[in-house]
Amino acid sequence: MNKIAYMTCVLSLAFTMQACDDFLDSFPQDTVTNENFWKSKEDADKVLVDIYASLLPKDAIFFDEAMSDNAYLVWDWWGGAQQVANGSYTTSGEIPTNRWNGSYEVIRKCWFLLEGIEKIEDISEQDKNKIIGETYFMLAYNYYVLTSYFGDVPLVTKTLAIPESKQLVRTPKAEVVDYAINKLKEASVMLEGLSQEKGRVTADACRFLIARMYLYNGDYSNVLETVKLLEGKYQLYREGDTPYEDLFSGVAENSCEVILSVVCDKRVGEIYTSHGGNGIMLLKGITGEDPYRGVTPSGSLVDAYPMADGRLIHEAGSSYDPKKPYEGRDPRFYQSIVYPTGQIKYLDVETGTVKERLYDPEDPTTVPEHQYNYSQPSATGYMWNKYIDYSVYAMNSVWDCTNDIIVFRYADVLLMKAEALLQTKGESAKEEVCNLIDQLRDRCSCGRVHRENYNSKDELMELLKNERRIELANEGLRYMDLIRWKDAEKNTIVTGVGLTGQMYGAYMRKDGVGKDDKTVDVDNTPRRYIETRYFNASKGYLFPIPQKERDLNPNLTQNPNW
């Protein structure tokens, strides 16, 4: 087992600092204190790996995807993503509350460590700087999350007693962002040139997060300056017949494309260092242990994948046939999504091997669990292939997947650069932007951009948004893209994107074969109806400040119209 992964999981269970239910409770009332804990580097390491366990995403990315137009979470009791996606969440909603509390809990731990490490005498300067640099990253990462979702948030720059925490006010977003970026810059200097174990924060991980924060906050010139520091160090993974799929299945998790990942290994007893992606995403009837078939891809995401020749399905010259929607598509589609009339992998429990068979919910020869008239088929008609661990072990133990979760990768660097070029140079950046997109397509042997169809900044931006959507699908980034582009308010049926109107799934060639099936018309063909979503543009671009926190601290103002 990976040493860091093991320590992270052990310490997340055993570390004696108590867990906290809300933001105000997250400030120290612990039996572990700055006065009696700090004796050696090992003490600092214990806190640091606990912070790692609390911070970096694993299963969360799949639920984040379900907050967007890329996916659907079928269970309304599971995590709150369904309520965010359909617009029914409130100031007491599970997602906003957990984002707020979780982030400030990690910030508390960061300051506990940053203040405590100064009390350790038996530690080298290099070890001290390394720990401080990693902690600065963790601190900044949480402010990146908080400012992205909530806007103005309290800026905590030390450990606070309960009375102090009850007096906190919200700091302007721009000030918090500047603070976080400065901490990342300090961290990149401290971590420069230091060898790192897989899964640990590096100087380049800091630079990547700096670039993303600049991007999310519209500072495109600084995006371009920052990505220069990453170019030439990484490259797109291109080996084998399915290089894109292999990045996420575990085959190529050590590739030259990965900048930061969460290392996942098999559990040891009750200690988990794995993720539960198979349990969250797989359908019933194909595994040993029972999955929840909770998160499935949407029809609008499927429609976003280009044709194999590089044209989008509604682009001039496209050969797309809405009654044969899965023919001749971008290879990333086949490597990301299991679709009706395609093949689905399953565990043959008798032979202990993983095999393939037909997947078609409208075909009576398909296994009963997958048919639409079964009690729990795929809600959308699709299933994720991306991020599934098809090892025999993980197909048997679906909550114990060992393929790593990629946090930052080089493909996103190319996409950030393309967006920043387009925003700073406009239409004159056309060739540069198209060349960057073509790099992603070349990796998968997909057709290149048909430049004759993109002749304005707006047209190029729509192309780039679409490329980002499919390249980064199921990586937990789509919701925030909809928010920062102000696309969440768009009607999905009308525009192909957005969190308003009827959400749809697979093409229903028999137009409602199941007991309760309902269809909607898309391109004059019936598509499986999922739900009707509503996005309130007057307030939905920011999460509400959790009501419980405002009850405890009246100084916390609420976001507009909440």
DSSP letters, 69-134, are: TTEEE--TTSTTHHHHHHT---TT-HHHHHHHHHHHHHHHHHHHHHHHGGG--S--HHHHHHHHHH
Domain assignment of residue 212, yes or no: no
How far, in Å, CA of 498 to CA of 487, rounded? 6
CB 268 within 8 A of CB 1: yes
- In angstroms, the Cα distances linking 246 to 35, 53, 57, 336, 498 are 48, 25, 20, 10, 29
Contacts of 221 (CB under 8 A, 6+ apart): 420, 424
Residue 86 falls inside a structural domain:
yes
| pLDDT score of 20 | 33
- The answer to whether position 397 is within a domain reads no
Domains identified in the chain, total number: 2
Q: Specify which residues 345 forms β-bridges with.
A: 356
Smallest CA-to-CA distance from 437 within 458, 462, 456 is with: 462
How far is Cα 199 from Cα 164, in angstroms, rounded to an integer? 35
CA angle 390, 393, 398 (to 5 degrees): 75
Domain final position from 190, 215, 235: 190
Query: How far is the CA of 139 from the CAs of 176, 185, 211, 238, 281, in angstroms?
Result: 11, 12, 16, 34, 31
Q: Provide the terminal-to-terminal Cα distance of the chain, rounded to the nearest Å.
A: 46
**Of 190, 225, 242, which closes a domain?**
190
**304 falls within a domain:** no
pLDDT (0 to 100) of residue 267: 84
Is 521 in a helix, a strand, or coil? strand
542 located within any domain:
no
pTM for this one?
A: 0.94
Residues 6+ apart with CB under 8 A from 168: 154, 156, 160, 553, 555, 556
Does 460 reside within a domain?
yes
Residues 239, 231: Cα–Cα separation, whole Å? 20
Torsional sign, CA 401, 407, 411, 412: positive
Strand partners, 220: none
CA 221 from chain centre, in angstroms, equals: 25
| Residue 557 domain-assigned (yes or no) | no
Question: Cα(257)–Cα(449) distance, rounded to whole angstroms?
Answer: 22
- The answer as to whether 84 is a domain residue is yes
Q: What range does the domain containing 94 cover?
A: 1-190
- Helix (H) or strand (E) holding 495, with range, is helix 492-495
For residue 41, which amino acid is it? K
Taking a C-beta distance cutoff of 8 angstroms, is the pair 199, 219 a contact? no
Count of CB atoms situated within 10 Å of the CB of 355: 12
Q: What angle do CA 548, 553, 559 make, to 5 degrees?
A: 70
How many helices (H) and strands (E) in the chain?
21, 13
What confidence score (pLDDT) does residue 272 get?
A: 75
Bridge partners of 297, per DSSP, are 71
Cβ atoms of 180 and 379 closer than 8 Å? no
What is the structure's pLDDT at 28?
Answer: 43
Q: Report the C-alpha gap between 408 and 251 in whole angstroms.
A: 17
* DSSP result, 213-226: HHHHTT-HHHHHHH
Tokens of 486: 């102000």
Spans in the chain with pLDDT lower than 50: 1-3, 5-31
Long-range pairs of 287-292 with CB within 8 A, sequence gap ≥ 24: 287/346, 287/347, 287/395, 287/396, 287/398, 288/347, 288/349, 288/395, 288/396, 288/397, 288/398, 289/396, 289/397, 289/398, 289/399, 290/398, 291/398, 292/75, 292/78
Give residue for tokens 């009308």: 494
CATH number (domain holding residue 135): 1.25.40.390
Instruction: Tally the C-alpha atoms within 13 A of residue 406's C-alpha that lie toward its C-beta.
Output: 28
